[in-house]
Amino acid sequence: MLARDEDILKTAEAWRKSGRRVALATVVETWGSAPRPVGSNLVIDDQGNFLGSVSGGCVEGAVVTEAIDVIESGKPKTLEFGVADEIAWKVGLSCGGTIRVYVENID
């Protein structure tokens, strides 16, 4: 079962209050088929722990890696993932869709 948006944001707040550095990734645009809709969130801490989902598969791993960089630099990033149908399953975009994910540091 996927975490509810409310749970993801409460977790982000709790992690910040406990002293963890945190980033929030949000799906801001999709085209074609995408595993998660616009507005889906993933919260990531500075140790690589996360809750939520923005896609799945290798895409989600890449977002976690980029989020740790955002936490370190303090600079937000917009990430775009899109693949051709023949390799889509390998990276978690089952029908060749494209997604854009905004990753920001949470202070």
What pTM does this model have? Answer: 0.85
On whether the CB atoms of residues 6 and 32 are closer than 8 A, the answer is: no
On whether the CB atoms of residues 71 and 12 are closer than 8 A, the answer is: no
Spatial separation of the C-alpha atoms in residues 16 and 23, rounded to whole Å = 10
Scanning the structure block, which residue is given the tokens 């969130």? Answer: 41
On whether the CB atoms of residues 67 and 73 are closer than 8 A, the answer is: no
Sequence ranges of the domains in the chain: 5-106
Which tens digits make up the pLDDT trace of 58-79? 788 999 999 999 999 999 999 9
- pLDDT number for residue 2: 56
Q: Where are the alpha helices (DSSP H) in the chain?
A: 5-17, 57-73, 85-91
- pLDDT number for residue 92: 53
In eight-state DSSP terms, residue 75 is: -
**Whole-number mean pLDDT of the chain?**
86
